[in-house]
Structure 1
Amino acid sequence: MLEREIFGNSLQTWLVSILIVLAAVVVVKLLSLLGKKVVRPFIGRTKNRLDDVIYSALEAPLKFAVILLGIWIALHRLVYPDGVVRVVDNAYRILIVLDITWVFARLLSGLLQNYWGRSSGGGAYRMLPVIRRTILVVVWIIGIVTALSNVGVDINALLGTLGIGGIAFALAAQDTVKNVFGAFTIFTDKPFAIGDTINVNGLEGTVVDVGMRSTQILGYDRRITSYPNYKIMDSSIVNISSEPMRRASVKLGLTYDTGVDRMEQALEILRGLPAKVEGVSRNPSDITAYFSEYTDSALMLTFYYYIEKGGNVLQAMSDMNMAILASFREAGLAFAFPTRTLLMQQDGADGASGEKSGANAAPDSK
């Protein structure tokens, strides 16, 4: 019975080949048991993470290689047509190269995760999935091209086809690619970080997340705006959180009947107010007050001061404005507002009238 032929091979030959494949499966099971009971506990006690990375990279591809070897030996004991032999040999050439590529892919992925991923934080860690996928794609493309080259495939024609397809894909996904590179630029250049308050093209708010496609900004109206990454990198970014202090300015108009001494008094009042307002810098070099210009109905004063980092900007500005109002009222300094003086004159039967602008003069008629 064992000498009976099936597809050109005796039953005994078939049984031996099947036993060889089963033996390969048993070896794989033994390797798994050895790794679980001996190798893993041993490398777990070492402080170096490199042995963990190497073991993890080799474990699955090594088992696959044992199965391939068992099937290879079993198949080459059989007799079959030359065409089938060529197909099997080509398949094995491809599978061996892909198995080696698998080792490199797992090794690079493990090295990135254990060394760069754990040592970096923030934006660099968030970029790890994208960088890892990119490297794996490149490794697998090289492995596949090498495998096909080993079996006689025309690589130049294949690369030409892939080049045309890649151009079409790049044109279709150019916005996505620009957003990914924009995210990479944000994480590497670090113009801002999550939690910073920024201003991008007039949009001001707090950065709550930076993704692969867009950056989410929480505005002062408590609405989240998703801004494409490539547009952010093409824009002028003002990082408000990075400023040491926030400069604030106030323009005040006094009436034209204010004398020189009173103007000097107003400037001295302004220069002394930062010492009375919480959250405002008291450094004299951060305080500027000067008589800036003449306007149609007011003598203009310009006052610059700085709000300290971490202070409540809106509250400090409100407190400063209240202090200015109270101090000027107490000093009797009058704020100007637009007015118009009307003069009328009558001579006999003929009448003439004229008008002019003035500073806070009461209307007069005759």
Structure 2
Amino acid sequence: MPSFLDQPLLGNPVRNYLILVMVLLLVFSVKRYLSRGIAAIGFRLLKRWSPQIERKELAQLLIRPLEYFLLLLAFMLTIDHFRFPPELDVTIYNQLTLKRLTGILLEIAFCICVIWILLRFIDFIALILEKQAHLTPDMTDNQFVVFFRDFFKAIIFIMGAVVLIRVLFGPDLVNKLVTGLGIGAAALALAAKESIENLIGSFIIFFDKPFRVGDFVKVDAYQGTVEKIGLRSTRIRTLEKTFVTVPNKKMVDSILDNLSLRTQQRVAMHLELSTETPAGSLLKVLQGIQQLLGNNSNVLPGFTVNLHDFHKDTYLVQIIYNTYIIEGNQYAALRETINLGIIRLLEAEGVKLAKVTVG
């Protein structure tokens, strides 16, 4: 007489179900330790390239997907020894049976786990590169890390999508898609024209380096700090603190002014003085402005202060000077100091100001 363990249950002996439960319980209880062990092995292999990296950083990225992967792998290996119950192998839709649906769901779950692990591994490689980039003053390295991460993640997503299509619809559909891509490549390229142009633009930005993350740029009507350079677009934080997304194609094709690369700041002013101003007073004003600029340590030599032109009702005084790169409030304070000094000179000589133009 067969024992209880040999009794059939849904086409399989009870022993198989007990083995399945025991294996799953065992893997569930040790999955964290196994995941930590796998992560530790990977950490030892990668430690030589980045001594600054810590084991917990790799563990935080990989442990969760590895746990699900090990649990799913144990389930799939164990269930492979089961015979699908004939009474449950019913047709759900068209020619899709419950047995086939179960297999598809398991394959999809397995693919998702693998994709998840690969994405986390890319994040870890990007973390290593980011730590290396922080050791150098060049912001190009930081820009490369973002580009590397986004680019390879996009490749993983595309490959994962192809694999999932193959699992869901079979290899025939994938072959047809590949054949169709060869036939309809022109139509596909036309439909994805802007996306391809933006992708090419990101490569141009990366290799040509017209700007970097952290640079203050002006493109068309937008002016602000570059916060991120992606595969499709560049994000700029404007002076109004808004977040503008500009396609990379536009960043490449437009006239872009990288204000962070300027070596000096130029100020051009035109004072229109009344024609009632005596020549002696006008000369003293010009000499006073020259002395004012010359005594300021932030103003570079080579400034220009002269009587540029005169019109029917005004004398045109031209003031052009360059300063060192001074940002924010310090630059505003410098301009204020010079402007107040000019006003005091005009008041001291009794010269009336008709109009001021700042370029």
TM (norm. structure 2) is: 0.62
Aligned runs of 1:346-361 on 2, under 5 Å? none
1:226 Cα offset (Å): 4.2
Conservation of the 8 A alpha-carbon contact between 1:267 and 1:290: yes
Tell me the equivalent position of 1:270: 289
Give the partner amino acid of 1:73.
Answer: H
Tell me the equivalent position of 1:134: 154
Tell me the equivalent position of 1:36: 32
Give the partner amino acid of 1:70.
Answer: T
Conservation of the 8 A alpha-carbon contact between 1:24 and 1:70: yes
**Is 2:328 the counterpart of 1:320?**
no
The equivalent position to 1:292 in structure 2, one of 308, 313, 328, is: 308
Secondary structure of 2:267's counterpart equals: strand
Higher relative contact order (CA 8 A, sep 6+): 2
Conservation of the 8 A alpha-carbon contact between 1:178 and 1:230: no
Secondary structure of 1:327's counterpart equals: helix
Give the partner amino acid of 2:301.
Answer: P
Secondary structure of 2:211's counterpart equals: coil
Conservation of the 8 A alpha-carbon contact between 2:267 and 2:322: yes
1:184 Cα offset (Å): 8.9
Aligned runs of 1:1-366 on 2, under 5 Å? 12=8, 14=10, 16-37=12-33, 40=36, 44=40, 48=44, 50=46, 56=63, 59-75=67-83, 98=108, 101-102=111-112, 104-120=114-130, 130-131=150-151, 134-147=154-167, 151=170, 153-158=172-177, 189=209, 191=211, 193=213, 197-204=216-223, 206-207=224-225, 215=235, 217-219=237-239, 223-230=240-247, 233=251, 235-254=254-273, 265-277=284-296, 280-281=298-299, 283-285=300-302, 287-310=303-326, 312-331=330-349, 334-335=351-352, 337=354
Query: Residues 50, 61 of structure 1: CA spacing in aligned structure 2 closer, same or farther, 3 A cutoff?
Result: farther
When the two chains are superposed, the root-mean-square deviation of aligned CA atoms in Å is 5.3
Aligned residues: 318
Conservation of the 8 A alpha-carbon contact between 1:192 and 1:198: no
Tell me the equivalent position of 1:349: none
1:88 Cα offset (Å): 8.4
1:310 Cα offset (Å): 2.9
Is 128-137 or 101-110 further displaced after alignment?
128-137
Query: Residues 182, 224 of structure 1: CA spacing in aligned structure 2 closer, same or farther, 3 A cutoff?
Result: farther
Query: Residues 327, 336 of structure 1: CA spacing in aligned structure 2 closer, same or farther, 3 A cutoff?
Result: closer
Conservation of the 8 A alpha-carbon contact between 1:49 and 1:114: no
Give the partner amino acid of 1:12.
Answer: P
Structure 2 residues without counterparts, runs of 5 or longer: 48-54, 135-141
1:116 Cα offset (Å): 0.8
Q: Distance in 2 between matches of 1:42 and 1:65?
A: 15
1:179 Cα offset (Å): 8.3
Give the partner amino acid of 2:71.
Answer: K
Conservation of the 8 A alpha-carbon contact between 2:31 and 2:71: no
Q: Distance in 2 between matches of 1:49 and 1:110?
A: 16
Q: Report sequence identity in percent.
A: 16
